[in-house]
Structure 1
Amino acid sequence: MDNSSCMKKWILIITMVICHQTIFSNDLDKLKQNVRDFYLLEKVSNAEVAHLLEGMKGDYSFGDIDYDMHRRSNWKPREHLKRLIKLAIAYEDVNSDYYQQDHLAEAIVGGLNYWSYHDFYSDNWWHQEIGVPQSIGPTLIICEKIIPDSTMVRSLKVMDKSKIKMTGQNKIWLSGNVFMRELVRGNRDLMTAAADTIKSVVVPSKPYEEGIQPDYSFHQHGPQPQLGNYGLHFAEDIVKWMFIFDKTGIAFSSEKVDLMRNFMFQAQQKVNYKGKYELLATGRQLFPERVNGEKYRGPMSKYELYKNLERIFNLFDSHENPTGPPKEYVHFRNSDYSLYRTDGFFSPVRMSSQRVIGAEAGNGENLMGYHLGDGTNLIYRKGDEYHEIYPVWNWRKLPGTTTVQDTVPLPVLTWSGYRNGSHFTGGLQSDWGGISAFEYRRDSLKANKSYFFKDNTVYALGSAIGTDRDFEVVTTINQCYKKGPVIINKKKGKITSVWHDSIAYVNLGKQQLKVRQGIQTGNWKKILTWQTDTLISKEVFDLEVDHGIRPKNAKYAYVSIVGVSEKEAEKAIKKELGRILVHSGAVHALSFNQGKNIAISAFEPSEVPIGHKQQLKINSPCLLNLYKLEKGWKIEAVDPTQMLEKLSFGISGKYKVQGSQVSKIDGNVTYFEISLPSENDNKGMKASVILMLE
């Protein structure tokens, strides 16, 4: 190679290095500006800044914070750092009266010094390695130009406790802290590693592994639904990083943005109702709205957080996303969790199985949640029916559950939680509503339970209820705040229906209903160890089915008609209710619209009458929707066990079967199969066939 060629080669290499460094430098500036822009989306009022500065002492600590606290949950010292972020935002907000004011800069730097000199700690590792660094980084970047080198060095040393490790949401938090720290230092390699790690977790998980599920629900701590706990924090962090990385060399791929869009609008948006986050979706975080007079992480705060994330996501997303959830039934097949929404009400069901953990307790939280995943079924109209009811709830009688009423304190769950003893748990969406059903097998109690959602009604059927324990067994229809009168209707001494707060509860079986109404008393400490034991009393309405002591093959059937006056309820009871076709230990079947729609929960092989002298023989456990056609049937099916490859049936009559690979006619019976989704990601989804008369 001659000297000229060698010189050209070196010039090219030097040019590439300079270009790369320039791009990196530009990205650094852009990333820092994106961080500032992200945090400046929050508006901190002049009054709040004045209040914070007024509460700051001469050593730049806050007088209302107990810095000697070491408890694991709701650790108050971290509030010091969160307040500094608010002061930093006000300092950089051109519309604030405190914009770049010297006394505010002094308070920010002083507050950072106070923390770095003391380095307070909690007994929960999370705060030292995640929470504290997470609450220092934003202030360092927002106010980088006013922070002295000595303060910056000490603060970054505190942040050095964050390392890239662990899994799931913890991994995102740790990597985010590393990124913010190294963005200040300008360490390209560690920034890239942290950014790559953050982006690496935005992938669809395999069913029942931690992360975003194929149905867009979210799991953490094993196969456990965590939409409103870890899942909401996951969304909070990833939306933040998508905003910060936007229009830089480390921006998220379009595929990852698509996945987050589905997580936001196919899952998170759907668990919010009338200004509150649905309580059954919040994991173990059954929190009050305020703690010591300050806003905490209750359902209203979680709702506000989600709506803010939705707003931020739409700032950088090019798609036109839905402004609200659709009115429909949806079942999250990977989380044993169903939702039904109409114009007039919202009704979730939380179940469990051998696949899915029902609930957990930890950090002194959810001490009473032993039955949360046992078929709890709530009915919201105004959205406040259960708001902060936890201290006074009878936790053995959660709405929708069938439980043993023993006399010992409820066991406190562990981090491992619990699983229901059956694989049969599932849901089936239809054009008219949906079915949720499961076999309950826990603590020597068995029950087959179904919930049918249609229009403004929720039908609940239970059967095969039994236990060998010498205690009463109760199915709770509802337990909510009492609002207004309770109207009880009886016939021959038996309650036939009850009306309360625009809901008519109609007895569809021979079971005995009991109504309880009055003051119930409790405290927050029985829910959260770090809360007060101050007694709280609320008036509560409770409606339940008493199955007696040590029942065998007991059953129940009732329907909740939602959004009706007392007079409207009478009309609906006489003219508009569905008809029970079969109510046995093996099968629950309801007919609607004069037999045009039939909904079935088949727990065992069984037969169901579906028309005049017409039977459907079901050979496998399944959930079914049947639609009457002019000359046949459309049948939709789900395998709630998620273990079968096909379902087989026999139906009276001679039919051509569309959508079935196997069918035959023998006499006057058509035998056919429904092939089920074979890929693991699609287990529990519905399949269908159409039967047309020959």
Structure 2
Amino acid sequence: MKKTLSIIFLSLLVSVSFYTHADEIDTIKQNYIRLLLSENEKEQELVARLIAFPKELAVSDQMVVELMDRYHITSSDVAGLLESLQTDGSWKDVDYNNQNRSGWSPKTHVERILILTKAYRLPSSGYFESKDVEAAIHKSLEYWIDRKLVSLNWWHNQIGIPKTLGGALILFESKLTPQEKEGALGIMKNAKFGLTGQNKVWLAGNVLVRGLLENDLNLVTSARDTIVSEIKIGDQEGIKYDNSFHQHGAQQQFGNYGAAYISSMSFWAQMFSGTAIGFDQSQLDILSGLINNGYRRILWNGYMDVNALGRQFFRMAQIHKAFSVGFSALMLSEVDKVNANKYNDLIKDNFENRGQPTSLTGLYHFWMSDMTVQRRPLWMASVKMSSDRVIGAEAGNGDNLKGYYLADGATYTYVDGDEYSNIYPCWDWRKLPGITSYETDTPLKELSWGGYHNSSNFVGNVNNGHFGITAMDFYRDGITARKAWIFTDDYVLCLGAAISADSGCVVTTSIEQQVKKGDLFQLRNNAWDKTNLVEFTPQNEVRFFSGNKGYIILEPQKGKAILESRTGKWNDVMSMYPKDMIENKEVVSLWIDHGKDPESSTYKYFILPAKSQEEVKTFNVEDIQILSNTKDIQAVWLSKENMALVASYIPADIQISKDIHLKSNETGLFLIKQDGKKLKITFADPTQQLETVKLEINKKKYNLNLPKGEKRGTSLSLDVSL
């Protein structure tokens, strides 16, 4: 009797275990199918905003591939695919011999299989459970399995193809023949656990889908754990302590791998929701920190900052990457109720309340990525740099063919958000806004996967959340310069000193190069004159206005302001585009000419975003006292704010005002705010190497013990009585 009861009990355990495993697998599969078919009602408003833009046909970026999958599948789309499918299962318009590393044409075949499987499952497609679609899926799937096409780019073989094919297999699983399933799983097995960062997440995701197809909960769980292992903050690739994202070394990758990371994680968070392997709150909090304290800062009115695009200067890149972040935020808001309001605010700012004052303001420095962002209610500005710690930019797979100067102090200012939209083929890439570089007809050098560094470690920022100074000691390609940016509520003041070069070429500093937002005007005799070209010569001051921005160039300078029509080829920037794909833009450019082989040239200019002509005309530069703009110290006194901002490239020794004399035993960045007889001194170490700094204020001595570890690039404040 006891033996019989034991057998019955064990049988029940096995039965319960079997059904538990089967139920978990089924729940995850159903969640996966729901996500693939975009059956989430909350997403439909954002989808409606996305599809207001024409669908992109030439696509390489995986994030854009997934965005295009959100466009509604129409009966004409499906009819076209059925009509063009050939008897052997191929499509006549796909170049199966193409070997481009980026924009690999054969992948279109697998993307079309996914479209057909979605159409087969969606009643709205007009082809729900259609026998013609079913036959086309079998035929095209057989063709792909038999041909065993391989890309020269490993990513397509191990990540891109298995990822797309996996979704199609899940949707069509009940109709797969044993031979089809076996052949398709062979392709899925190209993805194995390994690598780092988002590549690791992609690979694990492909293994997970294979586990679903094999009904192997242990494999699914292992893959889930591998994915979750990348939800962490640290010094390695991935999420950084400053809320930026790195991949391919110490390199900011917000718009490339980082965007894919948050898209993947939001997808898996929803897919595992309601199961025993769902993300816990601590993991959700880390993702919220990255998106709401990182990504939200580099979005403006539904556009991603150019400084965040990485190597991916695709057509519509700023819009598409912003939408990708928006969908990630929306998906996580449904799973993470604790942080839902933060996600909703991101969506409102960028997609629902576009053009209205932003709810996120403040000055923030991504100290692990050498990037500063200033956000005001009506405008945003960003500066991207590099150092001996941080890689400036990379190129590979035919991407970013002209981005040689991307992190040399590139400075973008936004009011509407579209100031630089699709300008890339029409850019003079030697005059990116904010950079100091050579003017020559010599073709730009092409970067490699290794990217590049600025040779100096003096790159950083100090701020109080609203005002601050960013500085870069610049050494690259024979050009040296001390470059500083003073950020306030109303303007950006840009300073340059000790500019020298030894190439025999003219050296320029670019102030602006953006899409025309309005006519170009110069202030002459206290009135605005419309112009298309001004070659200004040394004078005390020159003021320009275009659209909703003003520019004031101080001290004797030589330079040019121009509004002109330009035409460029997309293929010159991103090789995946056809050579006959042309872009036309009217472009406003301003730059300073330092001449050939400058020995110690300087510049001083203001950018005034979100201003009227009258505001630019009456802007009083006398309220800003430039105390020093030399190779040793760049310093300003803001009289209205009783504030000094100082970049000291040598141990400081400077009389800031009649009440304040500053000395230090180290280099550094200082923000000094005076309030009567009290001072608040905020200090940051741009070298990120110092442990202590000795200060002397009016001969009174103070010691600062600087932040270490995960906060080593942040600032420290000291209260002082005069």
Scaled by the length of structure 2, what TM-score is found? 0.87
Of residues 607, 611, 616 in structure 2, which corresponds to 1:560?
Answer: 607
Aligned to 1:437: 471
Amino acid at match of 1:648: K
Aligned to 2:495: 461
1:142 equivalent in alignment to 2:161? no
Aligned to 2:701: 671
Is 1:46–1:98's contact at 8 Å kept on the other side of the alignment?
Answer: no
Alpha-carbon distance in 2 for matches of 1:103, 1:521: 45
Aligned to 2:196: 167
Deviation at 1:509, TM superposition (A): 2.6
Aligned to 1:187: 216
SS in 1 for 2:198: helix
Aligned to 1:635: 681
1:32 equivalent in alignment to 2:29? yes
Alpha-carbon distance in 1 for matches of 2:507, 2:424: 22
Alpha-carbon distance in 1 for matches of 2:7, 2:675: 78
Change (3 A) 1:156 1:588: same
1:271 equivalent in alignment to 2:298? yes
Aligned to 2:721: 692
Alpha-carbon distance in 2 for matches of 1:384, 1:265: 22
Of residues 509, 512, 525 in structure 2, which corresponds to 1:478?
Answer: 512
Aligned to 1:126: 155
Deviation at 1:143, TM superposition (A): 2.3
1:456-605 equivalences in 2 (<5 Å): 456-489=490-523, 494=539, 496-534=542-580, 536-573=583-620, 577-594=623-640, 596-605=642-651
Change (3 A) 1:224 1:55: same
Change (3 A) 1:315 1:613: closer
Is 2:458–2:472's contact at 8 Å kept on the other side of the alignment?
Answer: yes
Amino acid at match of 2:210: R
Of residues 420, 432, 435 in structure 1, which corresponds to 2:454?
Answer: 420
Deviation at 1:449, TM superposition (A): 0.7
Alpha-carbon distance in 1 for matches of 2:659, 2:717: 24
Alpha-carbon distance in 2 for matches of 1:330, 1:95: 46
Amino acid at match of 1:241: W
SS in 2 for 1:391: helix
Amino acid at match of 1:308: F
1:239-388 equivalences in 2 (<5 Å): 239-289=266-316, 298-319=317-338, 320-322=340-342, 323-324=345-346, 326-388=360-422
SS in 1 for 2:444: coil
Aligned to 2:531: none
Deviation at 1:13, TM superposition (A): 5.4
1:79-158 equivalences in 2 (<5 Å): 79-158=108-187
Is 1:650–1:672's contact at 8 Å kept on the other side of the alignment?
Answer: yes
Alpha-carbon distance in 2 for matches of 1:235, 1:250: 18
Deviations 1:533-552 (A, max 9, x none): 33545332221111121112
Is 1:602–1:618's contact at 8 Å kept on the other side of the alignment?
Answer: no
Deviations 1:297-351 (A, max 9, x none): x222222222111111112111233212612221111111111222222211110
Amino acid at match of 1:377: T
Is 1:265–1:321's contact at 8 Å kept on the other side of the alignment?
Answer: no
Aligned to 2:423: 389
Alpha-carbon distance in 2 for matches of 1:84, 1:421: 49
Alpha-carbon distance in 2 for matches of 1:314, 1:106: 39
Alpha-carbon distance in 2 for matches of 1:165, 1:514: 52
**C-alpha root-mean-square deviation of aligned residues, in Å?**
2.3
Deviations 1:463-488 (A, max 9, x none): 12112332221111111223433222
Alpha-carbon distance in 1 for matches of 2:71, 2:585: 36
Deviation at 1:513, TM superposition (A): 3.3
Deviation at 1:142, TM superposition (A): 1.8
SS in 1 for 2:413: coil
After superposing the two structures, state which structure 1 stretch, 223-232 or 341-350, moved more.
Answer: 341-350
Amino acid at match of 2:32: V
Alpha-carbon distance in 1 for matches of 2:600, 2:428: 25
Amino acid at match of 2:412: L
Alpha-carbon distance in 1 for matches of 2:518, 2:489: 25
Aligned to 1:221: 248
Deviations 1:407-455 (A, max 9, x none): 4322111110111101111122324333221111111211111111112
After superposing the two structures, state which structure 1 stretch, 486-495 or 585-594, moved more.
Answer: 486-495
SS in 2 for 1:259: helix
Alpha-carbon distance in 1 for matches of 2:231, 2:554: 47
Alpha-carbon distance in 1 for matches of 2:565, 2:613: 24
Deviations 1:524-565 (A, max 9, x none): 222123333335453322211111211122211111111222
Deviation at 1:251, TM superposition (A): 1.8
Deviations 1:136-185 (A, max 9, x none): 11111122222222222221122121111222222211111111012111
After superposing the two structures, state which structure 1 stretch, 683-692 or 251-260, moved more.
Answer: 251-260
Of residues 667, 670, 690 in structure 2, which corresponds to 1:624?
Answer: 670
Alpha-carbon distance in 1 for matches of 2:312, 2:249: 17
Of residues 16, 19, 40 in structure 2, which corresponds to 1:19?
Answer: 16
Alpha-carbon distance in 1 for matches of 2:491, 2:624: 10
Alpha-carbon distance in 1 for matches of 2:10, 2:632: 76
Alpha-carbon distance in 2 for matches of 1:59, 1:582: 74
SS in 1 for 2:284: helix
Deviations 1:252-301 (A, max 9, x none): 23222111111121122222222222222111111123xxxxxxxx2222
Aligned to 2:238: 211
Of residues 78, 91, 98 in structure 2, which corresponds to 1:49?
Answer: 78
Deviations 1:387-409 (A, max 9, x none): 12111211111110111234432
Amino acid at match of 2:616: A
Is 1:595–1:611's contact at 8 Å kept on the other side of the alignment?
Answer: no
Amino acid at match of 1:196: D
Amino acid at match of 1:268: Y
SS in 2 for 1:235: helix
Alpha-carbon distance in 2 for matches of 1:551, 1:355: 28
Amino acid at match of 1:25: A
Change (3 A) 1:493 1:132: closer
SS in 1 for 2:627: strand
Alpha-carbon distance in 2 for matches of 1:37, 1:628: 58
Q: Percent identity?
A: 32
SS in 2 for 1:321: helix
Is 1:162–1:177's contact at 8 Å kept on the other side of the alignment?
Answer: yes
SS in 1 for 2:369: coil
Change (3 A) 1:187 1:677: same
Amino acid at match of 2:706: L
Change (3 A) 1:54 1:628: farther
Is 1:44–1:89's contact at 8 Å kept on the other side of the alignment?
Answer: no
After superposing the two structures, state which structure 1 stretch, 508-517 or 241-250, moved more.
Answer: 508-517
Is 1:608–1:616's contact at 8 Å kept on the other side of the alignment?
Answer: yes
Deviations 1:494-547 (A, max 9, x none): 352122222221123333332233234432222123333335453322211111
